[in-house]
């Protein structure tokens, strides 16, 4: 069983949940009432952090789980932890200023890409009878 990957999945979901809390706090601090999604740069950055995290989760999670199943639990979990670190750096940077999100974005995008490629190669090898 891929227990480490399961733990990293739970941490990734917790991270996403925390972005929702940050949006709620930004709404309160800036006075932006739902359903508005614009109106104050601080709120808009918090909202984009949440949406961008949501946009990446369906790329990251299947890639991590396929890597766990076809390559190994430890490799998948390591890639997942790197993805989470990248997301945290992205969140911190973007909430300070939009132009400070680049490093975190690059780290999480690279991690998701490596997980996706690892699973693609492993599945391909299995289909060719070499795995």
pLDDT digits over 30-83, tens only?
999 999 999 999 999 999 999 999 999 999 999 999 999 999 999 999 999 999
CA nearest to 6, candidates 86, 59, 61: 61
Report residue 101: phi and psi, to 5°.
-90, -10
> What mean pLDDT is predicted for residues 109-131?
95
Question: Active-site residue among 27, 28, 87, 96?
Answer: 28
Q: How far apart are CA 97 and CA 62, in angstroms?
A: 30
Q: How far apart are CA 123 and CA 128, in angstroms?
A: 9
Query: In Å, how far are 2, 31, 117, 122, 127 from 53, measured between CA atoms?
Result: 23, 23, 20, 26, 32
- Position 115 confidence tier, pLDDT thresholds 50, 70, 90: very high
pLDDT at 131 over 70: no
Q: Note the Cα 61 to chain centre separation in Å.
A: 8
- Looking at the domain 3-127, which fold is it? 1.20.120
What is the DSSP-derived secondary structure letter of residue 99?
G
pLDDT on residue 114: 98
pLDDT on residue 130: 80
- 48 given a catalytic annotation: no
Question: Active-site residue among 27, 48, 87, 101?
Answer: 101
What mean pLDDT value characterizes the chain?
A: 97
- 28 given a catalytic annotation: yes
Token match 């940050």: residue? 22
């Amino acid at each position: 069983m891929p227990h480490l990957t399961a733990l990293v999945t739970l941490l990734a979901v917790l991270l996403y949940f925390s972005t929702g809390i940050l949006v709620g706090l930004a709404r309160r601090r800036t006075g932006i009432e739902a359903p508005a999604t614009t109106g104050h740069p601080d709120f808009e950055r918090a909202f984009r952090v949440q949406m961008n995290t949501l946009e990446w989760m369906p790329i990251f999670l299947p890639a991590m789980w396929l890597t766990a199943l076809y390559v190994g639990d430890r490799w998948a979990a390591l890639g997942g932890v790197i993805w989470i670190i990248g997301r945290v750096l992205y969140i911190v940077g973007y909430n300070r200023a939009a132009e400070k999100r680049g490093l975190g974005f690059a780290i999480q995008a690279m991690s998701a890409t490596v997980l996706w490629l690892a699973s693609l190669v492993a599945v391909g090898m299995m289909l060719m009878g070499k795995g």
